[in-house]
């Protein structure tokens, strides 16, 4: 075994499924031959097999294209470590947090981007794009996709593992409007919602090395996008028409849905069913993606929710309503005080360990899954401005606030 980074003093004697090489650098282990590869590598250097991205990466808004708000890494305990692992200062409102292969990517509203090696506890790369960042970015196959100022750009992350860490700009395309919601990969394609004054268009890029966005569907109102494997799903509606559900893979399949109002909360896609908040009663419904019919009417008065799922939904949800938060499998509830407000992007589930909620008062609540509703509260950066982004990857929880302070804590 040789060190994938060719570190001269590294004996590369890492255990099976180790996350780090002996030299301390991040590994991507091959499922086929167990060789260790560099972070962000797409193919195994020993056998050429395609490498799967680590499951506990946080590759897009609410964790990734399924938008579950779920980190599948079981940390055992839901207790926060005393010391913060890392603090970054973006100098402008934190808009998005992504994590891949041990690297954290923090994106500010004005286009400032900071990339840190989390285990090393330091920032390794910093760059600036033209803001404002109006859509949530994503990472797909080792590339960062970022939509800002009417453009979509791709940055290759592989060069972050070099002695002089950096990102390589690959391409930029104009979108003809304002990118909104969240960039959504599905299979080898990438989807983006583009808004103009009274119209929204879902565009797809079929070939990510030669980008040529084309329209898939347009409507007056469209929901957020969510995808599972190679299928992307969204709802749309025009004035005076019923709402419709669209699935796009190679072609667009459309069904009428007997519900009112396109949801403004992100939808989630798990095990062939779609979760969304519909209507004036804000009811959380589970919809069969293949028929468009409501499989299950779950909870009214839903503000935010998170879904625990591997391939299939495991029947566990966390729901925030106007009086507090509850876990469906325990039926336990924590009632919020009159001034407690959860922020968008909440809640998150860390498998068997914790439920994480960003609050408007600048705190992050970390509930212990085993001892719910017991929780700890952590004030990000010691400031008192609202949490604007949260994420969880491996055994870390990270939150950023309106001042641009980003803090990483470990669940230990």
Binding positions for Zn ion, 92-131, rule CB under 5 A: none
Output the smallest distance, CB 121 to Zn ion, in A: 18
9 versus 250: smaller Cβ distance to Zn ion: 9
Q: Which of 26, 29, 35, 92 binds Zn ion (CB under 5 A)?
A: 35
Q: Does 306 bind Zn ion (CB under 5 A)?
A: no
24 versus 169: smaller Cβ distance to Zn ion: 24
Buried b or exposed e, range 29-49, using 16+ CB within 10 angstroms: bbeeeebbbbbbbeebebeee
Looking at residue 92, the DSSP 8-state letter turns out to be S
Find residue 106's DSSP bridge partners: 97, 114
Output the smallest distance, CB 54 to Zn ion, in A: 15
Binding part of the chain for Zn ion, among 25-33, 208-216, 313-321, 355-363 by CB under 5 A, reads: 25-33
The angle formed by the CA atoms of residues 378, 382 and 403, to the nearest 5 degrees, is 110
Token reading at 151: 């453009």
Q: Which of 15, 32, 252, 377 binds Zn ion (CB under 5 A)?
A: 32
Token reading at 127: 């760059």
Output the smallest distance, CB 38 to Zn ion, in A: 10
Q: Does 80 bind Zn ion (CB under 5 A)?
A: no
Give the helix/strand (H/E) hosting 258: none
Q: Does 33 bind Zn ion (CB under 5 A)?
A: yes
Q: Which of 27, 30, 104, 243 binds Zn ion (CB under 5 A)?
A: 30
Binding part of the chain for Zn ion, among 23-31, 152-160, 321-329, 354-362 by CB under 5 A, reads: 23-31
Output the smallest distance, CB 17 to Zn ion, in A: 13
119 versus 384: smaller Cβ distance to Zn ion: 119
Binding positions for Zn ion, 162-181, rule CB under 5 A: none
Dihedral (Cα; 266, 391, 412, 356), 10-degree rounding = -40
Binding positions for Zn ion, 1-20, rule CB under 5 A: 3, 7, 10, 12
Output the smallest distance, CB 302 to Zn ion, in A: 44
Q: 197: which residues sit within 8 A by CB, 6+ positions away?
A: none
Token reading at 243: 């709402």
Token reading at 381: 């950066």
Gap between the Cα atoms of 17 and 5, Å rounded: 17
Q: CB atoms < 10 A from the CB of 161, how many? A: 19
2 versus 242: smaller Cβ distance to Zn ion: 2
3 versus 183: smaller Cβ distance to Zn ion: 3
Task: For residue 235, give Cα distances in angstroms to 238, 242, 265, 276, 309.
Answer: 11, 11, 12, 10, 22
Gap between the Cα atoms of 35 and 21, Å rounded: 11
Find residue 154's DSSP bridge partners: 145, 171
Output the smallest distance, CB 102 to Zn ion, in A: 13
Number of residues that bind Zn ion (CB under 5 A): 14
Binding mask 242-261 for Zn ion (x = CB under 5 A): --------------------
35 versus 346: smaller Cβ distance to Zn ion: 35
The torsion angles phi and psi of 381, rounded to 5 degrees, stand at: 65, 10
Binding mask 36-75 for Zn ion (x = CB under 5 A): --------x-xx-x--------------------------
Output the smallest distance, CB 213 to Zn ion, in A: 34
50 versus 168: smaller Cβ distance to Zn ion: 50
Burial (CB count within 10 angstroms: exposed 0-12, middle 13-18, buried 19+), residue 352: middle
Q: Which of 23, 87, 124, 253 binds Zn ion (CB under 5 A)?
A: 23
Gap between the Cα atoms of 345 and 53, Å rounded: 23
46 versus 159: smaller Cβ distance to Zn ion: 46
Residue with tokens 């876990």: 327
Gap between the Cα atoms of 42 and 57, Å rounded: 14
Phi-psi region of 62 (alpha: psi -120 to 50; beta: other; left: phi over 0): left
117 versus 321: smaller Cβ distance to Zn ion: 117
The binding site for Zn ion (CB under 5 A) comprises 3, 7, 10, 12, 21, 23, 30, 32-33, 35, 44, 46-47, 49
């Amino acid at each position: 075994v040789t060190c994938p980074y060719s570190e001269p003093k590294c004996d590369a004697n890492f255990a099976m499924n180790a996350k780090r090489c002996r030299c301390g650098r991040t590994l991507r282990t091959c499922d086929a031959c167990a060789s260790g590869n560099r972070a962000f590598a797409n193919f195994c250097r020993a056998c050429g097999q395609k490498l799967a991205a680590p499951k506990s990466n946080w590759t897009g808004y609410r964790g990734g294209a399924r938008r579950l708000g779920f980190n599948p890494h079981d940390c055992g305990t839901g207790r926060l470590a005393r010391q913060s692992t890392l603090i970054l200062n973006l100098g402008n409102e934190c808009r998005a947090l992504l994590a891949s292969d041990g690297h954290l990517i923090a994106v500010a509203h004005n286009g400032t981007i900071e990339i840190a090696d989390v285990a090393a506890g330091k920032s390794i790369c910093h760059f600036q794009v033209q803001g404002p960042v109006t859509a949530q970015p994503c990472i797909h196959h080792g590339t960062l996709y970022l939509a800002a100022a009417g453009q979509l750009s791709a940055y290759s992350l592989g060069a972050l593992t070099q002695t002089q860490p950096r990102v390589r700009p690959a391409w930029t395309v104009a979108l003809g409007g304002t990118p909104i919601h969240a960039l959504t990969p599905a299979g080898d394609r990438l989807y983006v919602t583009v808004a103009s004054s009274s119209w929204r268009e879902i565009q797809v890029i079929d070939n990510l090395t030669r980008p040529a966005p084309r329209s898939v569907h347009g409507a007056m109102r469209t929901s957020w996008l969510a995808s599972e494997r190679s299928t992307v799903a969204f709802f749309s509606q025009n004035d005076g028409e019923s709402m419709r559900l669209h699935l796009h893979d190679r072609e667009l399949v459309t069904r009428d849905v007997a519900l009112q109002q396109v949801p403004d909360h992100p939808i989630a896609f798990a095990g062939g069913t779609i979760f969304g908040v519909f209507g004036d009663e804000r009811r959380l419904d589970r919809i069969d993606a293949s028929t468009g019919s409501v499989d299950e009417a779950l909870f009214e008065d839903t503000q935010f929710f998170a879904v625990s799922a591997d391939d299939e939904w495991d029947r566990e949800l966390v729901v925030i309503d106007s009086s507090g938060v509850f876990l469906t499998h325990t039926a336990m509830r924590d009632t919020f005080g009159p001034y407690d407000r959860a922020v968008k992007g909440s809640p998150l589930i860390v498998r068997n360990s914790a439920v994480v909620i960003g609050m408007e008062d600048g705190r992050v609540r970390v509930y212990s899954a085993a001892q719910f509703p017991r929780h700890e509260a952590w004030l990000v950066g010691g400031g008192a401005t609202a949490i604007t982004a949260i994420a969880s990857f491996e055994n870390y929880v990270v939150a950023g606030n309106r001042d641009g302070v980003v803090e990483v804590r470990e669940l230990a």
